[in-house]
Structure 1
Amino acid sequence: MTETRRLVSEERDVLEMFGLDEAQEAVYLTVLDLPSVTCSDLRRRRPDLPPERIDAALDHLEKNGLVAHRTTPHDRYVAVPPDIALLDWLQRRTSALLEAQSTIGTLTKRYQAVSRHEEPAALLEVVLGVSALDRWNQCLAGANREIRVFERPPYSELRPWVAAGTANPIQMDLLAKGVRCRLIYDRAAIDARPNLDELREGIEGGEEARVVGELPLRMTLIDDQLALLPLRHEHPVSEGMLLVRPSPLLTALSALFEAVWQQAPPLIIDCIPGEGGEDPARLDESLVVIAGLLVAGLSDQAVARHLGVSVRTVERRIQRLAAALGAKTRFQAGALAARHGWI
């Protein structure tokens, strides 16, 4: 008995998908269980349904091809085989759904042809005060695919990892989640750091880093959906932020990043032996490191400070690098190292 009730319940669930209400389901299942049936038979078998509802249900079932009405020899109803009746209904519904899908595509094209950002506020958002830095970090943490960064000062006192010489914890979390991080540093961004530990930690964590002499602005691009800029040039983010949503301006900023990225050499950072402990096996590697820092535009003093060696040691290694490449100046040595594929 329990199994019969379960089957009846499943049948009703299926029939509901075909658009039959409770009375239509009851009448259809009754007809389905009999060779043929008259209206009187249905009223006798389904006393729970008013006669008018039985008549209306029969009309609906006949109209939709689920039952057939035979007037001779008696006024009787028979069920049309379900594999014919319901399959035909399903094919008609499928055809209607395909047509609806095509219509959705047409409507979507019409929607996309119209600008939805008529108000400037829909394209640009200004965030003022210290909350701008919080908003910047929130947007950064929400990246799903890729961040692209123009990294340059000034830095806010609210960015403690820069002063501490440690990597941005938000960026390290993104790298751990598989988000691609491409950063372009300018010379001032490297000089502003007390050491190279932060940069080395990021690169070892998967960051793709390149370097140029000077960047025109500070910028973070997130998933091709947002651009974050300081509100004022040469001011830290903590004083205000400009948020740019998808628009021709965002497209231009993205193109600017890619153009600089193509021209910028990789930022190569590694430890080199200190004074008195030079390892011949690492000599070429140490010159590669110095070449990368020269391309970044660092002075001899800055290179020495970052690498923890004396200025004289840096000068001596630059001379060896220049001699190996036939360069006459320190900048030419860095440029030739890049051209030879050292960096």
Structure 2
Amino acid sequence: MLMLLGIGSTEETVYRTILENPSYGVTELSLELGWPVDQIRSTLDELARLSLLRPSWEEPDVLRLVRPEVGLAALLAREEAALLARQQEIERSRTTVAQMIATYADQNPARPSEDSETLVGIDMIRSRIEELTADCRQELLGFEAQGAQTPDNIEASRPLDEALLRRGAAIRTVYLDSVRNDQPTTGYALWLTEHGGQVRTAPSLPLRMVIFDRRTALLPMDPEDSGAGAVLLRGVGTVAALVALFEKTWETANPLGEEHRRDEKGLSNQEREILRLLSIGLTDDAVARRLDVSVRTLRRVTAALMERLDARSRFQAGYLAAARGWLPTCP
């Protein structure tokens, strides 16, 4: 049960026995558990190394129990700090991978026989989207990570989506939660659902993306600037990974028109995502951009979360959120 804290089964057995019988010494533990004295001594030494036992001030050769709320809490805090660090490493790795894909695509211009193709300029990108949509027969998956859609984007997308749906192809799109406050985008999303498409929203999305028939994926070269160009990917493994990312996001996103769901801890998707993004070290400005909300709105939600956690600082809020299981665990 306590392996994640570095406490093995042998140490846990001895520790539990001491908790129930604080006055037990080596002899009593040996008799209680039926273990050799040497094994008891080595196990006590390990518990001391973990700071669950400490030498007595009066009898330095005797180990005394450290109060569990102190000793175990310290081990838990250490593991939570390691988990937060791991989350930050994963986020940095994700950004690096995206940059490496973009760099490779930039150095390897369009070649129909290869697994990637670089598209530069809005005209070229829209032309390829039209071609790929015309060839799409089964399913189109999309992340609309830029927030509210421009009138030009809506006008360009409507005939393509309409043709797809007439052919019987499925359309599943995830927008940002923030578009619920934008009437033109919400209107278009409702039009999609009325004609057979499926639309959900999420508090944030990793990047803008369109996947055609699970065979070809279109991504921006720079997730922060979709106008800089796009890269078309056809590699089986790469596209499969992107499909898995879509499905994972789709699973937790809210269907358009439904009330925002809260989890068993009373957190909305937006609140969970804010905690996650802040825990990996993003600034208020960066988090607000990811969620497509104002910095003022972000700080209002953050302040409410800190109040619920009874935290006096961002650092304390992160620790308390992790301790209560409000932050996601690493995959």
Normalised by the length of structure 2, the TM-score is 0.41
Which has the bigger relative contact order, CA under 8 A and spacing at least 6?
2
